[in-house]
Amino acid sequence: MRSASTPLLCLCLLVLPSCPLLLQRAHAAARHGGISLMSQQKALLHWKSTLANPAAEMSSWRDTSSSSGGLCNWTGIMCTAVRHGRSMPWAVTSISLPDAGIHGKLGIWRSQEHSRP
């Protein structure tokens, strides 16, 4: 005679081996949460490098990958936690450099465009 706990035991034996993989994927998704601040920083630094005369207000715009706060502390940059699934990663949500003499739109950035050597 089969006990009532046999189906539960079978289910556990099927599900438990996949738990580490699920946790690993969940951790990776939470860590990256879409476009990371690092990739946003690279894109903005690339854009700055294309300007003939970057404004003095952009002097704080430098590689800050090793410091805390990073690009969210740059002059004119505003970061906000944005919902991405269950996580709330930080993202650049506003760029304001009114006295920099820069006009126009940035357009759409693709990660491949600014990561080429």
Q: Is the pTM of this model over 0.85?
A: no
Same domain, 26 and 75: no
Same domain, 43 and 76: yes
Q: What is the number of structural domains in the chain?
A: 2
Same domain, 77 and 43: yes
| Structural domain span for residue 55 | 35-115
Same domain, 72 and 98: yes
Same domain, 15 and 68: no
Whether residue 3 is predicted with pLDDT greater than 80 in this model: the reply is no
- Helices and strands in the chain: count of H runs, count of E runs: 4, 2
Same domain, 55 and 9: no
Same domain, 65 and 103: yes
Pick from 47, 66, 65: nearest CA to 55 = 47
Q: Given this model, what pLDDT does residue 116 score? A: 46
* pLDDT per residue as tens digits for the range 58-108: 999 999 876 656 899 999 999 998 887 788 888 899 999 988 888 766 666
Q: Are 78 and 92 in contact (CB under 8 A)?
A: yes
